[in-house]
Amino acid sequence: MSNPWKDINLSDYESHMALESVQQLQAMNQMMKGQLNQYDIQSVMILGIAGGNGLEHVDMKKISKVYGVDINAEYLVTTKERYKNLSGILECLCVDLSSEAEKLPQANMLITNLLIEYIGYECFQKVVKVTNPEYVSCIIQINTDDSFVSDSPYLHVFDGLERIHHHMAERELQNSMESIGYRLTQTLEYPLPNGKELVQLDFCKNCITEN
């Protein structure tokens, strides 16, 4: 059965995420600015890059390679078109992480925002092992109700996602990462207008835990 993300129109996805009642597109843009600029890295891999939201914050004087990974090839075409200024730095990879993780190259940092929900902890562990980053920064959504998709005129666009969605919890993610040698170094919370919350958890392979 095809992954439902292959059938979701990028315009519908971004319009939903940018709604005044949702504001996840805006929130993740600002959070990615911090993710990209906090650490001393030369290469970064962004999983579930969609249309490239946040790539304008790439410091080309510091970062020489950006891998943008997504299961939807049309998303990647749009991303390359939008960020022509990153030509020579940005490399887009169409990869199904659930079955093709071994195709991923290595990178200094791995950014995964609202993506682990759709592959699960075990698959994410495999991705981390393959890419072997020094730093991993994850954004997960904490839901205050049973619905993981915010109410909007675009709600039914996401109907197929329920069959691949995994419940997320900060402690479970931390335990999962610690079991493969990564320690939590930072947690940031970003409340959303609809009562949901984005939580960023940063991990480091060879760092002393700050928390």
3-class DSSP state for residue 97? helix
Distance of CA 14 to the CA centre of its chain: 14
Alpha-carbon distance of 128 to 110, in angstroms, equals 8
How many domains does the chain contain in total? 1
Residue 211 inside a domain? The answer is no
Neighbours of 161 (CB within 10 A): 16
Alpha-carbon distance of 113 to 2, in angstroms, equals 22
Tokens, residue 12: 């519908």
Phi, psi of 154 (to 5 degrees): -100, 10
Alpha-carbon distance of 165 to 39, in angstroms, equals 30
pLDDT at 95: 97
Residue 15 inside a domain? The answer is yes
pLDDT at 211: 43
pTM, rounded to two decimals: 0.90
Q: Give per-residue pLDDT as tens, 34-81.
A: 999 999 999 999 999 999 999 999 999 999 999 999 999 999 999 999
pLDDT at 4: 86
Average of per-residue pLDDT across 174-183 = 96
Domain boundaries, position 77: 4-204
Residue 26 inside a domain? The answer is yes
pLDDT at 155: 59
- Return the CATH number at 63: 3.40.50.150
**Does position 165 have pLDDT exceeding 50, yes or no?**
yes
H or E, element range at 178: helix 170-178
Residue 210 inside a domain? The answer is no
Residue 209 inside a domain? The answer is no
Q: Give per-residue pLDDT as tens, 3-28.
A: 888 988 899 888 888 887 778 889 99
Q: Is 74 exposed, middle or buried (0-12, 13-18, 19+ CB in 10 A)?
A: middle
- 61 contacts 40 by C-beta, under 8 angstroms: no
